[in-house]
Each structure stands twice: as C-alpha cells, then as structure tokens.
Structure 1
Amino acid sequence: MEQTIFQHMETVRGITEQSILKTSEEIADIVPKGFNNSIRWNYGHIAYIQEYLVYGVLDQKINLPVEYREFFRAGTKPTDWKETPPSLADIYSVLSEQKIRIQQSLQGNLHKKLPKPFTNHFGITFHTLGETFLFSFYHEALHLETINRIYQSVVAK
C-alpha cells in the first residue's frame, strides 16, 4: 500500500510540475477580481503546506527557504509582500526536490503517530503522519483547481 501512496504523490506532483512549467512569469502575480491570491502564491503555498503536513506536524524543521513561510503560509497574500517572491523556476525546483526528499524520509513511517493530534482549518483531526500526508494530496488538488480558475480568468480578458 505504501508504494501505491508514493505513486499517487508522483502523479499529483507531476501534474503540478507540468502546470507550473506552462505558466509564464508575466501572469504569475495577477490576482483577478474574486480571488485573494495569485498563481505564484498558490504554487508556493502547495510547497509550504506539503512541508508542514509532513515535517511541521512532527515538530521537525521545515526544509524550505526561510522566506517561504512569510510568502506562502496560510493567511498570507501577495498584497502583503514586502520583498520579491521566489521565481516560478525556483518554486518548481523546490516542488521537485521536495517530492524526492519526502518519499525518502517517509518510507516506512506513514504509520507514525503525531506528537499531538493535528486539526486543520476544515476541522479534520489527524493522528498519524500518513493521514496528514494523504490529506496533502487533496490540498494540492484544491490549489491546482484554483490555479486553473485564475489562469482562465486572466487569459479570458
């Protein structure tokens, strides 16, 4: 079953990687009416939350560039950015490297109990690393759909 889970991660992240490669820097920071965030924010947020749902819930170090927390954690938005965010190429590299690193570190650990149960903003409580990891796929798909909606909104103008 573990191999199936990791294959699913490869599939989901592969879709994300293909999507970011098709996105231009010119449209990455547009926040259309009706949206709170940009395409760039959504890609960075996918990376940050995946990291949190694998390492943060275990009270381990987040292995992303320090600025990812300020740019991409839940509740942030591009209108609050005071610095230049990472390029799409940088975010792509983080997403690709993250996939490999997570698979290596999670081998045989999906059953691992969390130090304390984690409840997300949907009110869902998780007790094991496997539960948070599996939820991260759903989270990634939600943001990919948002990216698609933003893209359609931008190119339809």
Structure 2
Amino acid sequence: MDFLYKQFEMSRHMFLREVNQTNQGVLDVQPNGFSNNIHWQVGHVLTVTEQFLFGFPNDDSNLPQNYKDLFGNGSSPAAWPDNVPSVDELTEQLQKQLERMKEIPKEKFNEQLPEPFLGAETFGELAALAVVHESNHAGRVNAMKKAIG
C-alpha cells in the first residue's frame, strides 16, 4: 500500500502546484463553458477527499460543516455567502489533509465498504478513487486557466 500513499502525495503536490501557479486575480473568475471557478475547485477537492477518506460531513472534526454546502457536488460559487474561506486557507487545509492521509493505517485499505460506492468496494479502492478525482480536478484547473487566458 506504500504506492497509494505515494499517489496521494503526487496528486496533491500536482494539484497544489497548479493552484499556486495561478494568478490570484483569476481564482474567482468563472470562465465561459465552466460551471464554477478555480477557488471552488480547490474547496471541492478538499471536501470530496474528506468525504471519501474521513467520513465528512458526519465526522466534521477537520472541516467546517458548511464546506459541503460551499464545495460539495452540485454546489456553485454563484450561491456563496460572503464568508467563504480563502484559497490560501483551503490550500493550507489541503496540506494538512495530506499529512492526515499519510497517517491512515495500511490495514484500513483492505476494509470492505458497507456498500459499493462509485464502483469501489474497499476503502483502498475508494482512496484510489480520491486520487483519480483530485487529478481530474487538477486538469480542470489547468483548463480554466487556459480558458481565462
């Protein structure tokens, strides 16, 4: 399972590099053809990974409960209130989340899920799905940056 920890690390660093190399002025721009912005992408990756690996929102000890409404599937920055966490705050939480991910015991990855979720039957398969999800969104951030110019 060491490869899965390495995949977490690689995908997270790739995602953070993509975000950190973004001009601050475009983080909240919603490019034509996209239903959200880069700021939302950052919060979404954080929130969905937390859902997959740490049971959020039922276990909300690491993220505020309102993140699901701000960044969960089907949410939109168009509906955001005034007090949305900054990209800097979210990227700091992503870095802390990576450290928590590395602390997941190896034996946990063999545990069966109570029921299959998006084709995953074990926690390890769900963790691998989290890596794929994050990599997908790194590509979306890259595409958004190109669309913005």
Q: TM-score, normalised by structure 2?
A: 0.91
Match of 2:59 in 1: 61
Ranked by relative contact order (alpha carbons within 8 Å, sequence separation 6 or more), the top structure is 2
Runs (4+) of structure 1 exceeding 4 A deviation are none
2:123 partner letter: L
Distance 2:77 2:19 in 1: 18
Match of 1:21 in 2: 20
Match of 2:128 in 1: 134
Q: Which secondary structure does the structure 2 equivalent of 1:82 belong to?
A: coil
Match of 2:98 in 1: 99
CA deviation after TM superposition for structure 1 residue 10, in Å: 0.7
Distance 1:135 1:101 in 2: 17
Match of 2:142 in 1: 148
Distance 1:107 1:150 in 2: 36
CA deviation after TM superposition for structure 1 residue 145, in Å: 0.9
CA deviation after TM superposition for structure 1 residue 114, in Å: 1.5
Q: Which secondary structure does the structure 1 equivalent of 2:109 belong to?
A: coil
Distance 1:135 1:77 in 2: 23
Distance 1:29 1:152 in 2: 14
Q: Which digits, 9 at most, give the CA deviation of each residue in 1:110-141, with x for residues without a partner? A: 001122322xxxxx322211011001111111
2:148 partner letter: V
Distance 2:84 2:144 in 1: 18
2:102 partner letter: Q
CA deviation after TM superposition for structure 1 residue 5, in Å: 1.1
Q: Which secondary structure does the structure 2 equivalent of 1:108 belong to?
A: helix
CA deviation after TM superposition for structure 1 residue 68, in Å: 1.4
- Percent identity, aligned pairs only, is 26
* Count of equivalent residues: 148
Gaps in structure 2 of 5+ consecutive residues:
none
Match of 1:121 in 2: none
1:148 partner letter: N
Q: Which digits, 9 at most, give the CA deviation of each residue in 1:5-27, with x for residues without a partner? A: 11111111111121222223321
1:79 partner letter: A
Gaps in structure 1 of 5+ consecutive residues:
119-123
CA deviation after TM superposition for structure 1 residue 60, in Å: 5.4
Distance 2:14 2:85 in 1: 20
Contact residue 19 and residue 141 of structure 2 kept, 8 A: no
Distance 1:33 1:18 in 2: 23
Distance 1:101 1:141 in 2: 19
CA deviation after TM superposition for structure 1 residue 106, in Å: 3.9
Cα RMSD (Å): 1.7
